[in-house]
Amino acid sequence: MAVHVQNKRKLFLDSYHQTNRAQRSREREAVAFIFSGEGGEVICSRRLDHRTIQIFDRQLMELSEHIKTANVEDAVLRQPLHPAARGTLCVTGHHLLFSDREESSPQHFLLLLRNIDAIEKRMSGSSGTITIKCKDLCVLQLDIPGMEQCLNIARSIETLSCLENVSEMYPFFYRPSDQSLKDQWGLSSTEKHYSQMTDLHDRWRVSSVNRDYSVCPTYPQAVIVPKDINDEMLVKAAKFRHGGRFPVLCYYHRKNGMVIMRSSQPLTGANRKRCREDELLLQAVIDGSDKGYIIDTRSSQQAQQARMTGGGFESKSCYSCWKRLHRQVERGKALQESLIKLVEACGNDSHNMDRWLSKLENSKWLSHVQTALSTAGLLAECVERDGHSVLVHCSEGTDSTLLISTVAQLIMDPCCRTLEGFLALLEREWVQAGHPFQKRCAHSAYSHARLQQESPVFLLLLDCVWQLLHQFPLALGFSEALLLRLATEAYASSYGTFLCNSDKERCVSRVKEKTLCLFQALLRPKERRCYANPLYERTELAIWPSVHPQSLQLWRGYFLRWTQQARHLEEAQEEIRNMVILWEKMALT
């Protein structure tokens, strides 16, 4: 994330400089400056107490071995939509800091190293050029004098941008002045969520069978299950599901009492194993109603094949009241490759129209958006129109399962469409439900590294939500800016929210005690102003998206974010905001 900081920062740096710590290297200065918080407010140097400095020192010792050249004078920075600037470049443990030489209004440019997806270096004579491709799709160029300096900087960036150890990552060191570690981490919990839904209480209960994460390592400690199923049965059902992800409740539809459950695939294997407890659990979900639907987000062939490797699907004979529907929603490698192709197509201005359209088609990204939206629409239709409960799963139940259930909830439930509601939904369905963010978002579209478990499932979700926002500009309480912010934060963040792969891992790394929560930060009044949708008007109705190809559009705000075009659209958004403010002021008087 690039942050431009104004004169105030300079003032702060100057005053910091004067307070008898003059000998400190420029590098430390920069880090201290980073500690002052990107959020906006400038804190004065007095507030930088010893503890902070100590943390900083410790951090630096561990990472400083990777920094051979800490600062470079006379570097040139080229970023999209800005004129080239000459100034000083600093590398710290977690950031690149560039300060230009403008005497009157110095500009600082700050880039989280984690945000860097790939770099390319080109040497010519005594200087070198480093092209930095960020995970937020921004492409920057640095001209650095001195070959060795350039190579050093490049090497530092390469190492520091993909630290493996969670506890070394920036969120553990980020201490803005206006937020504190004592602030609540997270918006809600399973228990709180349960207690708010009183309609649920006579048939459903909160189980803490997973309190030590032994039943399912990727589930949170508490889950909502049918009242009739006791913990022992849950343990047995978990053994029958991939990764222990037994069916749990994720959404209760107040209008008709139907629910959405999610799980992973059943481990039926080649010889069609059964599990009595799993069958009872699902039977208890239906309870009295004639049938339920299972939406398997794999094609039927894929589900068949999964049996060879121990997985499988719910057969008709064992789950007689459940009707299974297969809709193939792409995830994993295919999705990652799709993103890479799309970004490549968007990055090349020299394509002619035919080439562009065929590249766009060839990337298949929009097809993935279409499938995801239509599958979510199908799920919502089963619940809202047909009045049946639905179980949704893929193989692991940590990717497309979450994607589909999240979009379906947005379609049906007005409570999920507010700013708070949406963030709470993401927390529940993605962070707590164990989407492996760290694995999936390790790299974005530019990396040449061999793909491991990267897959832009969360980005696909944000794109689907953007399509909803595009089709229903008045129905969602949050703006495109929020989606863009989330897309950036998921890949590189100062906050701890998207760290690790599951609740358990977060617990081990003590993320909740040692980092700040993004969702809380986004709800602060100042932030809220730019992430709320000024046109929002709550509607109780379901918002059924059109999935016709003509109705779906390339998310220009994201994929063409660093072009002039995006600026004009932002200006228009700003204009809308101003109009609404003016209007409200008039209505007030």
User: Minimum distance between the CB of residue 106 and other proteins, rounded to whole angstroms?
Assistant: 24
Quick one: which segment of 41-49, 132-140, 257-265, 348-356 binds other proteins (CB under 8 A)? 348-356
* Of the residues 46, 51, 182, 548, which one makes contact with other proteins according to CB under 8 A: 548
Establish whether 394 is a catalytic residue.
Answer: yes
Q: Please identify, using beta-carbon distances, which residue of 141 and 563 lies nearer to other proteins.
A: 563
Out of 90, 150, 382, 394, the active site residue is 394
CB of 396 to other proteins, least distance (A): 21
Tell me the site size for other proteins, rule CB under 8 A: 78
Exposed, middle or buried by CB within 10 Å (0-12, 13-18, 19+), for 400?
A: buried
Whose CA is closest to 220, among 453, 512, 452?
512
Can you name the residues that pair with 252 across neighbouring β-strands? 259
Residue type, 159: T
Q: Which residue, 202 or 540, has its beta carbon nearer to other proteins? A: 540
Helix (H, G, I), strand (E, B) or coil at 112: strand
What residues numbered 269-298 form the site for other proteins, per CB under 8 A?
293
Minimum CB–partner distance for residue 412 and other proteins (Å): 10
Q: How far apart are CA 33 and CA 55, in angstroms?
A: 14
Amino acid type, 29: E
Collapsing DSSP to helix, strand or coil, 295 comes out as: strand
For 191, the enclosing helix (H) or strand (E) is: helix 190-196
Output the CA torsion sign for 493, 497, 503, 508: positive
Using the rule CB under 8 A, which residue among 56, 421, 542, 562 binds other proteins? 542
Does 353 interact with other proteins (rule: CB under 8 A)?
yes
**Secondary structure tally for the chain: helices H, strands E:** 22, 15
Q: Nearer Cβ to other proteins, position 207 or 409? A: 409
Identified binder of other proteins from the candidate list 147, 235, 507, 580, rule CB under 8 A: 580
The nearer residue to other proteins, 324 or 528, going by C-beta atoms, is 324
Is position 129 an interface residue for other proteins (rule: CB under 8 A)?
Answer: no
User: Is the CB of residue 129 less than 8 Å from the CB of residue 142?
Assistant: yes
Torsion of CA 94, 41, 105, 27, to 10 degrees: -30
Closer by beta carbon to other proteins, 230 or else 302: 302
User: Binding to other proteins by residue 526, rule CB under 8 A?
Assistant: no
Rule CB under 8 A: say whether 385 interacts with other proteins.
yes
Among the listed ranges 182-190, 259-267, 419-427, 569-577, the one in contact with other proteins (CB under 8 A) is 569-577
Q: How far is the CB of 153 from other proteins (least distance, A)?
A: 32
Residue 27 or 136: the one with the smaller Cβ distance to other proteins is 136
Q: How far is the CB of 385 from other proteins (least distance, A)?
A: 7
Residue closer to other proteins (CB basis): 21 or 356: 356
> Per-residue x/- marks for other proteins, 450-489, CB under 8 A?
---------------------xxxxx--------------
Q: With beta carbons less than 8 A apart as the criterion, state whether 138 and 562 touch.
A: yes
Which residues in 137-167 are b (16+ Cβ under 10 Å) and which e? bbbbbbbbebeebbbbbbbbbeebbebeebe
The only residue of 346, 391, 445, 482 in contact with other proteins, by rule CB under 8 A: 346
Q: 8 near 42, Cβ under 8 Å?
A: yes
Binding to other proteins in span 163-192, by CB under 8 A:
none
Which of the stretches 90-98, 165-173, 510-518, 539-547 binds other proteins when contact is defined by CB under 8 A?
Answer: 539-547
Of residues 309 through 338, those in contact with other proteins by CB under 8 A are 315-317, 323-327
Q: Rounded to the nearest whole angstrom, what is the least distance from the CB of residue 266 to other proteins in the complex?
A: 14
CB of 264 within 8 A of CB of 397?
Answer: yes
How many alpha carbons fall within 13 Å on the CB side of residue 50? Answer: 0
Contact call for residue 560 and other proteins (CB under 8 A): yes
Which pair of structure tokens corresponds to residue 425? 């939904």
d(Cα 379, Cα 307) in Å, to the nearest integer? 24
Q: How far is the CB of 84 from other proteins (least distance, A)?
A: 20
* Residue ranges of E strands in 125-203: 127-134, 139-145
Shortest distance (Å) from residue 363 CB to other proteins: 10
Of 219-227, 378-386, 399-407, 458-466, the segment contacting other proteins by CB under 8 A is 378-386
Nearer to other proteins, 457 or 543 (CB): 543
Q: Shortest gap between Cβ of 250 and other proteins (angstroms)?
A: 21
Q: How far apart are the first and last CA of the chain?
A: 40
Report DSSP letters for 23-43, one per residue.
Answer: TS-HHHHHHHHHHT-SSSPPP
- Judged by CB under 8 A, does residue 254 bind other proteins? no
355-374 positions binding other proteins, by CB under 8 A: 355-358, 360-361, 364, 366-367, 370, 374
Q: Which residue's CB is nearer to other proteins, number 293 or number 437? A: 293
Residue 289 CB coordination number (10 Å) = 14
Residues 191 and 278: their CA atoms lie apart, in Å, by 23
Which residues belong to the active site? 394
